[in-house]
Amino acid sequence: MIGRVPRWLSEQVRMERHAFPNGSTTSDVAKFFGEFRLYPGRHLLVKDQEPVAIGSRALDILIALTERPGELVTKDELIARAWPNSIVEESNLRAQIAVLRKALSEDHSAPRYIAAVPSRGYRFIAPLSHSEVASKPAEEAAPNNLPRQLTRPIGREEAIEILEGRVQRFRLVSIVGPGGIGKTTVGIRVAEELSSSYEHGVCFMDLAPLPHPSSLSSVLASQLRLPEITGDPVSLLNAHLRDKRMLLVFDSCELVLDAAARLAETLLRQAPGISVLATSREALRVEGESVFRLPPLDMPPLGSGLTAADALAFPAIRLFVERATSGSEYAFDDDEAPIVTHICRQLDGIALAIELAAGRVEAFGTRGIAELLNDRLRLLTGGRRTALPRHQTLAAMIDWSYGALSPEEQTVLRALAVFAGEFGREAAAAVAFDPLAERDVPGQLAQLVAKSLLAVDTHGKVARYRLLDTTRAFAASKLQEEEEVSLVVRRLAKYLCETLEHSHEEVETLSSEDWLHKYGSQINNVRYVLDWAYSDDGDADVGIAVTVSAVPLWYQLSLVDECLTCVQRALLGLDPGEKRDGRARQVMQLYRALGLAQAFKVGFAPQAPAAFSKAFEIAEKLGDIDAQAEALWGLWVAQVGMGEYRASRDNADRFVRLAQNSLDRFIGDRMLSMTLFCMGDFRGARRHADLMLAHDVFTDIPPGGSVRFRFGQSVSARIQPAQLLWMQGFPDQAVRAADSAVEAARASGHAISLCEALARWSCPILVHVGDLAAADCAITELLDLAKLNGLGPWEVFGRCWKAALLIERGYAERGVPLLRNALAELRQVKLFNLYNVRFVCFMAEGLAALNEHVEARALVEAAIAASEDKDELWYITELYRLKGDILAQCGHGNEAEQCYLRSMELARQQDALSLELRAAVSLSRSLLARGDRIGARKALAEVYDRFSEGLDTADLIAAKAVLAELS
């Protein structure tokens, strides 16, 4: 529809023709609707003779709709118009429609201009009129000196869209972030998108090369093509810009920050039609400023295992691949995906660093780049020749920021290079504080955060800081140049010793999550200090002190292998003679840690008891009762593991005699309960287990006591009764106790405790009650956990249980070879204990199923002799029962029944009702086979009737079936 041209527009056309005579004008078409007029050729929307601030994409959509008034324009057509040659989500279109409706003052519930057609597209529904008007000559078009970008920004669509909205709402917007993150690229793109909204164009000014801050206003005047300046340039700028509607882009403000802030504030006050878009490594801190911190490019999460196609959904990967393939024959596939992801993560998602790394693919390949990243400052050179000098190498980029710091800020930044990961304010103060300089470290931290050289996470209870890896590498090189490494590392070591000393007291009082949040991040600092301490320029004394302090940290993180290596290195670093005697307490602590690490890394070999015995000897000389108790506990652990039960009983008694508080009495009862269980005294074991649980230990924990024995005792308290409950005929309670132990171990976050709960209690109980599916899950978790944490003995246990489960399921031909190999490994790590004898029974059962009766019988008889010799009697009833089964299969019924009777007699003596039931089932079947139905029923019913629970577990179901057959 074409209507009458309004009077004000006719007047404007007349004036424009007068202004551009002799045919110097070019024609344009204006479209009128409501109080708006649209100039498609100028990409301009006007309301009440004032341009409407609106993004270019929203304008593209409006122009497309007005080209076909009243017609349906599909979503795909609009997306293609606003985002040519790009693939975007439909949500982007909806967002731009919302921007457009807001600019048109449109009510979504009663649209005047744009109507949505659900699931299809949109229609322009307002009356529309057209007229030709004159436009400005091309040579007098609004100025725009934005640098031309030859490549499109990758992964910045959301940031650009947010910034477009910010610039429309605020007159000063600052894009802030570390060097190389892409501030200039994003800023130029935003200015391009908004350029049509500014009648007098866009003026871009690169502030990085300015010789002096005072020249800033003169340079801006030059960029605006103002006449030669003879007076005050600021006054000239104010006069020129007062009536202009223009966007000024101040790029790289960090070196002239104060001057840029003053000029921006002055111009914004004097020229109400201008807006300023600034890029800087810190905010201008001007009234009315809107600060947008540009984040790193998105990367895949850790351990994501993505394919190449999946990885390309992340901008950091996409940028690397695009730059790598632009100048070489590099091909990105599934094998390359994890390597490129690692590279981008090491470079913190910094766009410039990723581009520089991608540029070296042709020379080194991605694997070579990944290996060379430790020397990233030297590796990441050779940027585009057209790039600014500071953007051609990574070192130059960071040096640009470093040079702008005050001497105090430079000193603090260098000191922070010793932190490999996150750190808190106290840690930063510890390494950077110099009492002679009276340095304000918290204030310097705030400045480094403001200048985008230090990342901060404020989501937790306290702020956590982190140097980007690229910045840290640069700061470390400066620390080396200034010869400050030794001074700062010694400060860090002192801080670690003081901090980790308190960690002893909080293992049980804090939740696992809180404890790890507070102390877990210190592991990287420990490694850094120890690497320095044992280097040529280091100090072994510092290494010994930090090693002693870090032992609880290694155990809470289940880093047994690392603990063993570091403790051995510390002991080798001790000097003989007087110096060794002078640090007896440290030596004692190292031997305790050595014993435990040897036990859980290489098995319960003689080295572990020897280390604990040495620690006990030193503790006695020092008269330290607590230290003696801990050494005795470690010695007891090793002896139980090696099957030396008589000696372990003696040391458990000695421990109880030393017990001075509720925690020690709690642990003493646990030790006695475990030893008595292994020796087959289930009544005594249950008595001490009940005493253990009766201690209200966790309301009376002495300082540091909760970790003197390394493991969360609350987990052990749940583990201990589970096996006893099953043995004594309470299978349902046993399953619940085992589940409780596993859940407590999981909640503790302690891998060794969880391995113990799974291998010692959950797996056997689930197998014995016949829940083989749940047992399979528990075994798989055990194997995965042990492998992940490098806990070799527990991984062997896991393989033994895997083989035992195969035999239980009837796959003896597969289970026997696997169990044979696993048992050999078990003996190799000196773990001939309660695990071994149970697996011997499974092995004999499997051999008998394969008709290998001679080997099966020999194996069982050897196990019986060894158990009686060592007083390892907890499973003796099962050995006799199994020997009877093998004899019965070979036709020796009378001998078999004697074995069953012996098994039942021992089970009654031990109060092992579940084991007595197993022997009774075997005896009943034997009696039934020779026709004694009455004797068979009597032998089994008497035992079966004593059960009060667990009637749906495997053994009781089997017994019930035999009784039914005998009815």
The DSSP code sequence of 128-147 is -EEEEEEE--GGGSPPB-PP
**What is the predicted pLDDT for the residue at 642?**
80
Residue keyed to tokens 């000389």: 621
210: left (phi over 0), alpha (psi -120 to 50) or beta: beta
pTM equals: 0.61
**What is the predicted pLDDT for the residue at 86?**
66
**What is the predicted pLDDT for the residue at 583?**
81
213 vs 482, more confident? 482
Indicate whether 759 pLDDT > 80.
Answer: yes
**What is the predicted pLDDT for the residue at 387?**
45
SS3 50: strand
245 vs 42, more confident? 245
Q: State the Cα–Cα distance between residues 896 and 885, nearest whole angstrom.
A: 7
Averaged pLDDT of the chain: 82
Amino acid at 769: V
pLDDT band for position 104 (cuts 50, 70, 90) = confident
The conformation of residue 423, written as its DSSP 8-state character, comes to B
For the segment 759-773, the average pLDDT, to the nearest whole number, is 91
Residue keyed to tokens 């944490």: 789
For the segment 660-676, the average pLDDT, to the nearest whole number, is 84
Using the Cα atoms of residue 340, residue 343, residue 347 and residue 348 in order, give the sign of their dihedral. positive
- Give the chain's radius of gyration (CA, Å): 39
**What is the predicted pLDDT for the residue at 700?**
43
Indicate whether 89 pLDDT > 90.
Answer: no
**What is the predicted pLDDT for the residue at 2?**
33
**What is the predicted pLDDT for the residue at 894?**
93
**What is the predicted pLDDT for the residue at 473?**
78
User: Which pairs from 110-116 meet CB under 8 Å and 24+ separation?
Assistant: 112/34, 113/33, 113/34, 114/65
For the record, the structure tokens of 291 come out as 């600060």
Q: b vs e for 788-811, b when ≥16 Cβ sit within 10 Å of the residue's Cβ?
A: ebebbbbbbbbbbbbbbbbbbeee
For the segment 494-503, the average pLDDT, to the nearest whole number, is 87
The conformation of residue 952, written as its DSSP 8-state character, comes to T
**What is the predicted pLDDT for the residue at 741?**
83
655 vs 663, more confident? 655
Range from 216-225, 692-701, 860-869 carrying the lowest mean pLDDT: 692-701
**What is the predicted pLDDT for the residue at 711?**
44
pLDDT band for position 701 (cuts 50, 70, 90) = very low
What angle in degrees, to the nearest 10, is found between the helix axes of 812-828 and 792-808? 160
- For 589-642, write each residue's pLDDT tens digit: 899 888 888 776 655 556 788 899 999 999 999 888 888 998 999 899 888 878
The residue among 817, 818, 788 whose CA lies nearest residue 802 is: 818
Contact 895, 707 (CB under 8 A): no
- For 162-208, write each residue's pLDDT tens digit: 999 999 899 999 999 887 888 888 999 999 889 888 988 999 988 87
Which residues are bridge partners to 250 per DSSP?
A: 205, 278
Contact 745, 754 (CB under 8 A): yes
**What is the predicted pLDDT for the residue at 710?**
41
Percentage of residues in the chain with pLDDT exceeding 90? 32
Q: State the Cα–Cα distance between residues 464 and 455, nearest whole angstrom.
A: 8
Residue 131: CB partners within 8 Å, gap ≥ 6?
5, 9, 13, 29, 30, 32
Measured from the Cβ of residue 441, the count of other Cβ atoms closer than 10 Å reads: 21
Indicate whether 702 pLDDT > 50.
Answer: no
Q: State the Cα–Cα distance between residues 178 and 453, nearest whole angstrom.
A: 6
533 vs 22, more confident? 533
Contact 875, 881 (CB under 8 A): no
Alpha helices, DSSP H, located in 33-85: 56-67, 75-82
- For 886-920, write each residue's pLDDT tens digit: 999 999 999 999 999 999 999 999 999 999 999 99
Measured from the Cβ of residue 741, the count of other Cβ atoms closer than 10 Å reads: 27
Indicate whether 944 pLDDT > 90.
Answer: yes
**What is the predicted pLDDT for the residue at 8?**
35
Measured from the Cβ of residue 359, the count of other Cβ atoms closer than 10 Å reads: 19
**What is the predicted pLDDT for the residue at 139?**
39
**What is the predicted pLDDT for the residue at 906?**
96
Q: State the Cα–Cα distance between residues 11 and 790, nearest whole angstrom.
A: 85
The residue among 626, 739, 633, 637 whose CA lies nearest residue 678 is: 637
Indicate whether 464 pLDDT > 60.
Answer: yes
Q: State the Cα–Cα distance between residues 781 and 759, nearest whole angstrom.
A: 10
**What is the predicted pLDDT for the residue at 718?**
55
- For 417-431, write each residue's pLDDT tens digit: 898 778 888 888 899
Amino acid at 781: E
Indicate whether 277 pLDDT > 70.
Answer: yes
Q: How far is CA 700 from the centre of its chain?
A: 35
29 vs 883, more confident? 883
Residues 615, 667, 608: CA angle, nearest 5 degrees: 30
Contact 183, 229 (CB under 8 A): no
Q: Name the CA dihedral angle for 264, 269, 272, 277, rounded to a multiple of 10 degrees.
A: 20
Contact 915, 880 (CB under 8 A): no
The conformation of residue 463, written as its DSSP 8-state character, comes to -
For the segment 737-750, the average pLDDT, to the nearest whole number, is 83
Indicate whether 401 pLDDT > 60.
Answer: yes
Q: b vs e for 116-144, b when ≥16 Cβ sit within 10 Å of the residue's Cβ?
A: eeeeebbbbebebeebebbbbeeeeebeb
Amino acid at 571: L
Work out whether strand 172-176 and strand 289-293 pair parallel, antiparallel, or are unpaired. Answer: parallel
**What is the predicted pLDDT for the residue at 24?**
39
pLDDT band for position 328 (cuts 50, 70, 90) = low
